[in-house]
Chains A and B, each alone.
Chain A
Amino acid sequence: DIQMTQSPSSMSASVGDRVTITCRASQGINRWLAWYQQKPGKAPKLLIYGASTLESGVPSRFSGSGSGTDFTLTISSLQPEDFATYYCQQGIGIPRTFGQGTRLEIK
């Protein structure tokens, strides 16, 4: 299985901050990487696919980059509605695997 490791596991930040979350794959996955946002009691929501393509309707303050094994999700200016848990997911191998999540909390 391809292991996906996110860092940090949790972090606190303030509204307006720039935040970066990283995801590392245990083997190369080209750009087959997606990012999701999940709020308590809700299903994950697709934010970014193909490592850097923004899903329709997702605010442009979200961006993704990377290829191979190392990827980042950046939120350029945190908004109150962005406090949630974020997951990466690889889409090249079976089984599909997710990172363990990064919980983003209000400072």
Chain B
Amino acid sequence: QVHLQESGPGLVKPSETLSLTCTVSGDSTSSRSYRWAWIRQSPGTGLEWIGEIYYDGTTDYNPSLKSRLIISLDTSKNEFSLRLTSVTAADTAVFFCARHYGNNYDYWGQGILVTVS
């Protein structure tokens, strides 16, 4: 059974860096079959794709966030991470990590609320 779990601080100050980690169990982040994604959801903007990373470290980012965003992968720990710099209140959201397979997202973490204040 594949399980994803987000972790990180629930409160970040404006202008600081938001850092989250997604720990994967029941699957391997070094698998060539999948990508590993971050998606966020806020009342004002609905579901927003942030970006994703492939087993070899190749990334795709949302152009609207690209200048502030780094997604990285640690296959030895079977986890991947998100760093979003210079956050504002507009970055307040529930952040989900998810497994990307065949151009859709078949397993999701439970989500973590991050408030910028």
Contact = CB atoms under 8 A, between A and B. Distances in A.
B50 to A, nearest CB: 9
Nearest to A31: B103
B26 interface: no
Contact of A92 (B46, B49, B103, B110): B103
B58 interface: no
B49 A97 contact: yes
Interface in B37-57: 46-49
Do most interface residues of chain B lie in helix, strand or loop, or is the interface mixed?
strand
A52 to B, nearest CB: 13
Interface residues of B, number: 19
B103 A94 contact: no
A68 interface: no
Interface residues of A, number: 23
A62 to B, nearest CB: 15
B49 A44 contact: no
Given A34-B104, A49-B103, A95-B62, A43 B49 contact: no
Interface of B: 46-49, 60, 62-64, 96, 98, 102-106, 108-111
Given A43-B96, A89-B104, 7 more contacts: A32-B103, A34-B104, A43-B111, A50-B102, A89-B47, A89-B105, A95-B62
